[in-house]
Amino acid sequence: MTEEVAVSLRNVSKTFYLSDQTDSSFQKVKSMLFQKLSTKKLEVFKNITVDIKKGEFFGVVGRNGSGKSTLLKLIMESMNSDPGSIIETNGKLIRLALGLGFDVNLTARDNIYLNGTILGMSMQQIGEKFDELIEFAQLEEFVDTPIKFYSSGMRSRLAFSVAVHADADIFLIDEFFGGVGDEAFKAKSKAVFEERIIQNKTIILVSHSLELIVKNCDRVMVIKDGVGHVFNNPANAIQFHKKSFGRKVTEINAK
């Protein structure tokens, strides 16, 4: 781990505005013309401030719906944060989630080339790593099969293999390790994960697996009641996490 910052979050907040929906066409037109729509304001979290350093293994825990995955999406810049939030990243990011970046109608070959080029690899580099990548994922016989026919384990293996071989600097791992194939592959991926990724990369791990968090993380953030609490000792974070959670939902009228 270095002192250089990989991800910087300053006063990061996220609020969703959820409108009511009706299936009736008549009701839809009526509400559009004559009624004010009822909108729910959902404050997911407020003013999260933290610097994640290069090479750091940073864990994020919280109850379902606490905003862990939303935070990763904000860091990925695939979602807008609230005004006043500042998110800075230093390096190429990839989010590892089940079904990562794959078009299920395409073959593994096409998905590898597609993901590889988007991750910043040249076609030549992908060509050079292709065999290794497929062998690692144990998909030699299914390389030209559309991945919609793959089991979830096969998909996870492919996703993990692409991520390991890609030159991303920051890994956002979202509940990924639960489904990475059979025991043999889990052992292999764990070894590769520890060897190639933990040693060199910045990792932000979202997981319900407290064991994984305690074992690997340098620091942990617990999102509770929309506030991010950062702990230098993962064990303390887990203790804090076990307390009760909640969040505030306010109903407002849309103008």
CB of 101 to other proteins, least distance (A): 4
Q: Which is nearer to other proteins, 48 or 126 (CB)?
A: 126
CB of 166 to other proteins, least distance (A): 9
CB of 176 to other proteins, least distance (A): 11
Q: Which is nearer to other proteins, 120 or 246 (CB)?
A: 120
Q: Which is nearer to other proteins, 175 or 245 (CB)?
A: 175
Distance of CA 166 to the CA centre of its chain: 16
The b/e string for 82-114 (b: 16+ C-beta within 10 A; e otherwise) is beebebebeeebbbbbbebbbeeeebbeebbbb
CB of 140 to other proteins, least distance (A): 5
CB of 233 to other proteins, least distance (A): 31
Q: Between vectors from CA 38 to CA 37 and to CA 44, what angle results, nearest 5°?
A: 130
Q: Which is nearer to other proteins, 27 or 80 (CB)?
A: 80
Report d(CA 113, CA 128) in Å as an integer: 11
Report d(CA 184, CA 117) in Å as an integer: 29
- Residues near other proteins (CB under 8 A) are 73, 76-80, 89, 92-97, 99-103, 105-106, 109-110, 113-115, 117-123, 127-128, 130-131, 134-135, 140, 143, 146
Q: Which is nearer to other proteins, 110 or 175 (CB)?
A: 110
A 10 A CB-CB count for 76 gives 15
Name residues whose C-beta falls within 8 Å of residue 164's C-beta, 6 or more positions apart in sequence: 136, 189, 192, 193, 196, 197
